[in-house]
Amino acid sequence: MHLIRDILDKQLVDHRREPMGMADGLLVEMRDDQPPRVVAIESGLPVLARRIHPRLEGIVRAIGRRFGVRRGQIYRIPWSRVKRHDVEIEITGVDADRSPATAWERWLARHVTRYVPGSGNFLK
């Protein structure tokens, strides 16, 4: 498997195929005399910023701690929860509606979108 090509920037979905963000990074464990092992998929703006430049990650985390819904935290999904990966990466045992990965969407729906005429009631 080619991790960069097959995993990064793919859509993460829950067991109902509901979107819950993108695979922005991978956490890999380096082991002596053994091949590396994928530990988790990382998702969140700080991870994406780290891919651009490590200092940018620090800036994004600081802004997130001050103003963000997730307080600048990275959402890590254990590799053991990956059910399959092709066009999308299906994650088991996670509900997109309650996942930290969709915290921003829920916040926007509660505080912004619900006041837009014609937007419908997204929150139940």
Q: Tens of pLDDT along 53-65?
A: 999 999 988 888 8
**Joined tokens for residue 14:** 């829950």
Distance CA 88, CA 11 (A): 5
Residue 124 clears pLDDT 60, i.e. is over it: no
Per-residue pLDDT of 57-108, as tens digits, reads 999 888 888 877 777 688 899 999 999 888 899 999 988 888 887 777 777 7
CB 46 within 8 A of CB 74: yes
Looking at per-residue confidence, does 109 or 25 come out higher? 25
Q: Check pLDDT > 80 for residue 122.
A: no
